[in-house]
Amino acid sequence: MGTCCILCKETAARTARGVSDWRGSGNTSKPFFHCLWNTRGIIMKLLLGISALAFLMQAATPLKICAFNIQSFGDSKLSNEGISEIIVKILSRYDIALVQEVRDADLSAVSELLERLNSASKHNYAYEISESLGRENYREMYLFLYRTKSVSVVDKYQYSDKNNAFSRPPFIVKFSALNAKDDELVLIPLHTAPNDAVAEIDALYDVYLKIIDKWGTDNMMFLGDFNADCSYVGKNAWSSIRLRTSEVFKWLIPDSVDTTVGNSNCAYDRIVVSGSKLRKWIDPKSAQVFDFQSAFKLSQEEALAISDHFPVEVTLKSR
C-alpha cells in the first residue's frame, strides 16, 4: 500500500527493518493519524480558499441604479394586475431604484409594491421614502427601493430649502455598498416643476455644496425627471446652469436620447455624477434609457398606462 507523506515513508522503512517507530513507542498506527490530520488540514485550506473566492465574487458584484418617474403612482395604478406586474418586472432589475411621482399618503401602495417585489424577486428589498413634498395642494414623495444584500442606508437628509428653490426639495440618501470597503455614494433625487426646470437644476449645485459640508463627500449622483430638454430647458439655457457648466459634474444621459414614452422626443430624465471616486466606479457605456415598451412588447397605449417616462439607468462597476 502506498504512503502519503514523508513521515509515513520513513516509518514504513523503519518498521520493515524491525526498528520501533514514533519516538520508540513501537506504535506504527500513529503515522496513520498524522496522515489523517494532514488530509484534514488540506481540506480545511481548500474550504478556506473556496470561501475566499466566494467572498471575492460577491464583492465584485456591480450595482445597477435607476430613476423612474411612474406617473401618478398609487393604489389605483397598482390595482391593475397587468400594470403592476410590469412595474415589478422593471424595478426588480435594479439594486437601487428611485421612484418619483409617488402619491400615496397612507403608504398602502408602497407597502403592496414592496410585498409584490419581494415575492417576485430572489432578492430582498427595503425602502426609504420622503414626506409629501410640493407647493400648494399637489404633492409627491420620493421613494428609494433597494436590495438589502447589495447596499445599506448610512444616512438620509431632507434638504432644507430655505430659499424655496425647489417644488419638491431633494430627499437625499447615503448608501454603502455592502460588498466593497469604503464605497459610499449619495443619491440626490429631483423631479422639477417643468416651468422652473432651469432654476431648479441650477440649484442642485447648492445642494452639492451642502452635502460636502454636511457629510464630507463629493461622491454624489443626481438623478430624476429634471424636465431637462425641449421647451423647458432650451439650448441657450444651459450656460446658466452650474450643474452643467462646472467640470465637477459628468452628465451620463446625453441630450440626444428620448426618455419619454409618447410621441415627443425629449431627454427629460437624467443622471449626473460628481466625485473622482464615483466617476471611476461608473461604467459609462451602461448609462441608458430602459425602453420597457420594446422589452415587454407593449403597445404605446399599454406602455403609457404604466408611465409617460422610461427609466434611466446606470451600472457601477465591480471594484
Annotation says 128 is catalytic:
no
CA distance 18 to 258: 89
Rounded to 5 degrees, what are φ and ψ at 195? Answer: -75, -10
C-alpha cell belonging to residue 25: 513507542
C-alpha cell belonging to residue 56: 471575492
CB burial of 83-117 (b: ≥16 within 10 Å; e: otherwise) equals bbebbbebbbebbbbbbbbbbbeeeebbeebbebb
CA distance 155 to 161: 19
Catalytic residue among 101, 191, 200, 309: 191
Other C-beta atoms lying within 10 Å of the C-beta of residue 167: 22
Annotation says 140 is catalytic:
yes
CA distance 266 to 45: 57
CA distance 120 to 98: 19
Catalytic residue among 10, 101, 123, 140: 140
Catalytic positions are 140, 191
